[in-house]
Structure 1
Amino acid sequence: MNAIITGATKGIGRAIALNLAKNGYNLALCARNHNDLNDLKIALETFGIKVLVIPTDCAKKEEVLNFAEQTMAFFDKVDVLVNNIGVFYPGSLLDEEDEVFEKQQRINVNTAYYLAKIFGKIMRKQCSGHIFNICSVASREVVENAGSYSVTKAAMLSLNHVLRKELAQYNVKVTAIIPGSTLTASWEGTTIDHNKFVQPEDIAKSLYTILNLSNGVNVDELVLKPLNFND
């Protein structure tokens, strides 16, 4: 089995990579930092799988397409695509610079769009596969001081629904995972009890569970929220 994960070296992406590797998936991974990717590659190869790592700035279309091209050469079949890469810049939509929105759109939406088109066509042809889009509670409701982020994450959820509609007839599944506050690097330095967050491993385990459901079922959306979180 072969899986592709964007934003794989930290937080949710890293947890998903480790879980899939443990369960025998070969992996193609991208992130910006070359050293972090190589360190992760070494850790993952201890599970006896094949690992491709490509340093990629997902704000640049040409680098995203290069990652896709090298992945297609590495894999003879694509079973799973996890569109995980994302960036969050806090602020008021009305007061921010245009580039704040534009960069979040390139990373949060465009990367998923390009990769879903490329690998979705492959899955359509092979009549199998599963695309996961790591969205956010901001996909469904406006988050305070996160105007542009909310817009881009809502667009990602809409992309998820379009993909699911177009691919269902080809036996390709598409799932939006919608986490609330998750203990990732964006919460570094917080004084909030870490046990009150959704853990990246929760998302990784949930994704793997979904992969192992019966062929006839699709999980359209999975929402994971902290049980008792007061910020």
Structure 2
Amino acid sequence: MKNAIITGATRGMGRAIALAFSNEGFNLAICSRNAAELKTFEEELKQIDPGIKVIAVVADVSKKADIIKFAGEAESVLGSIDIIVNNAGTFIPTSILDDADDTFDKLMHTNLLPAYELYRYFGKKMMQARSGHIFNICSSASKNVVVAAGSYSVTKFALLGLNNVMRLELQQYGVKVTAVIPGSTLTSSWDGIQVDSAKFIMPGDIASAIMNAYRMSPGANVDEITINPVFGPQ
């Protein structure tokens, strides 16, 4: 049985991805800052497949200590980790010149630090096992700057850069790394804003794309998955 670790797993894309892996019979390690949501989702996952293990850890992945704790508990309960989905992230829609004093640090610590630290924790273990797959949930802003969300764009550019370093460092060991680059996706980032859901990517679309990339033959790696709304950016 394979083991997957997913950050920011109780809402939006993370939730859809966790559901997809649970439906495939994966053991899961999930985390969130919201203890109540995490407990509810843990029970939901166990009901989908009572045969899988689910470890749910309350963690603020903007803090290194919480990331390392989450990784350690996941490894302790599940054993070696086969899949890492770096999904946790936050969006702050301000131009750089209008950022609050803590905006840049908050975005870097949430959008980049978890992927960096989980890679440092599990990367060499995957090398030794000569297997594994890391998915980094980037953004269309990783390639096309959103001026109204300047620091967010910077951190998502950085995440794509980290993804590319990971892929090149790991490829000779047969470990796969995939950047997922979605456009406007209907997640909690849009809560409170009236939108036309028919013009958005659904979280389930992201989960389906990840599962298809994971199912590729051992010799094939999907470097990037780009998914955009059919009607253009929203």
TM range (shorter): over 0.9
SS across alignment from 2:178: strand
- Aligned residue among 172, 176, 180 for 1:173: 176
2:102 partner amino acid = E
- Aligned residue among 39, 43, 50 for 2:53: 50
SS across alignment from 2:220: coil
Corresponding residue of 2:151:
148
Given the alignment of the two structures, is residue 89 of structure 1 paired with residue 92 of structure 2, yes or no? yes
In structure 2, what is the Cα distance between the partners aligned to 1:65 and 1:119?
10
Q: How high is the TM-score relative to the length of structure 1?
A: 0.97
- 1:50-129 to structure 2, matched below 5 A, reads 50-129=53-132
Greater displacement, 188-197 / 34-43: 188-197
Corresponding residue of 2:221:
218
Q: Which runs of 5+ in 2 are unaligned?
A: none
Corresponding residue of 1:23:
24
Give how far 1:95 is off. 2.5
SS across alignment from 1:52: strand
Give how far 1:230 is off. 5.9
Give how far 1:71 is off. 1.1
Given the alignment of the two structures, is residue 14 of structure 1 paired with residue 4 of structure 2, yes or no? no
Alignment RMSD, CA only? 1.0
Corresponding residue of 2:135:
132
Q: How high is the TM-score relative to the length of structure 2?
A: 0.96
- Aligned residue among 204, 208, 211 for 1:208: 211
Q: Which runs of 5+ in 1 are unaligned?
A: none
Corresponding residue of 1:34:
35
Give how far 1:73 is off. 0.5
1:170 partner amino acid = Y
Given the alignment of the two structures, is residue 189 of structure 1 paired with residue 192 of structure 2, yes or no? yes
